[in-house]
Structure 1
Amino acid sequence: MMTNLFSVFDPSSSIPNLSLNWLSTFIGLMLIPTLYWAMPSRWSLMWNKINYTLYKEFNTLLGPNMGAFPFMFVSLFSIIVFNNFLGLVPYIFTSTSHLAMTLSLALPMWLSFMIYGWVNNTQHMLAHLVPQGTPGALMPFMVLIETVSNMIRPGTLAVRLAANMMAGHLLLSLLGNNGPGASNLILVILIFSQILLLMLEAAVAIIQSYVFSVLSTLYAAEV
Structure 2
Amino acid sequence: MSMLVDIFSSFDDNNQVFMSLYILMWLFSLATVVLFSSSYWILSPGWVSIISTFKDTASSQVFRSFGASMGGFINIIAGLFLFLILMNLSGLVPYVFSPTSHLVISLSLGMPLWLSLIISAIFFSPGAVVAGLLPMGAPGPLNPFLVVIETVSIMVRPITLSVRLTANMSAGHIVLTLIGNYLTASIFMSSIFSMFLLLSIQVLYTIFEFGIGLIQAYIFCLLITLYSDEHSH
TM over 0.5: yes
**C-alpha separation in 1, matches of 2:146 and 2:125:** 20
After superposition, give the CA deviation of every residue in 1:163-221 in whole Å (9 maximum; x if it has no partner). 11111110000111112322122211111111111111111111100100011111122
Confirm or deny: 8 A CA contact 1:24 1:95 kept in the other structure: no
**C-alpha separation in 2, matches of 1:33 and 1:72:** 14
User: Aligned ranges for residues 41-60 of structure 1 at < 5 Å?
Assistant: 41-60=45-64
Counterpart for residue 88 of structure 2: 84
Counterpart for residue 136 of structure 1: 140
Confirm or deny: 8 A CA contact 2:67 2:73 kept in the other structure: no
Confirm or deny: 8 A CA contact 2:87 2:98 kept in the other structure: yes
Can you give the 5+ residue segments of structure 2 that lack an aligned partner in the other structure?
A: none
Equivalenced residues, count: 217
State the shift of 1:57 in Å. Answer: 2.2
State the shift of 1:222 in Å. Answer: 0.9
State the shift of 1:66 in Å. Answer: 4.2
Counterpart for residue 179 of structure 1: 183
**C-alpha separation in 1, matches of 2:197 and 2:167:** 26
1:24 aligns with 2:32: no
Write the letter of the residue equivalent to 2:9.
S
TM-score when scaled to structure 1?
0.88
SS in 1 for 2:27: helix
Can you give the 5+ residue segments of structure 1 that lack an aligned partner in the other structure?
A: none
Name the CA shift for 1:171/1:47 in 2 (closer, same or farther; >3 Å). same
Give the counterpart of 1:107 among 111, 117, 120.
Answer: 111
State the shift of 1:27 in Å. Answer: 3.1
State the shift of 1:124 in Å. Answer: 1.4
Write the letter of the residue equivalent to 1:220.
S
Write the letter of the residue equivalent to 2:83.
I
Confirm or deny: 8 A CA contact 2:101 2:167 kept in the other structure: yes
Write the letter of the residue equivalent to 1:144.
V
After superposition, give the CA deviation of every residue in 1:88-139 in whole Å (9 maximum; x if it has no partner). 1111111111112101101111111111112222121112111112111111
State the shift of 1:82 in Å. Answer: 0.9
1:97 aligns with 2:120: no
**C-alpha separation in 2, matches of 1:64 and 1:78:** 18
Name the CA shift for 1:132/1:166 in 2 (closer, same or farther; >3 Å). same
TM-score when scaled to structure 2?
0.84
**C-alpha separation in 2, matches of 1:222 and 1:101:** 25
1:212 aligns with 2:216: no
Counterpart for residue 229 of structure 2: 221
State the shift of 1:69 in Å. Answer: 2.5
1:5 aligns with 2:13: no
Identity across matched positions, percent: 37
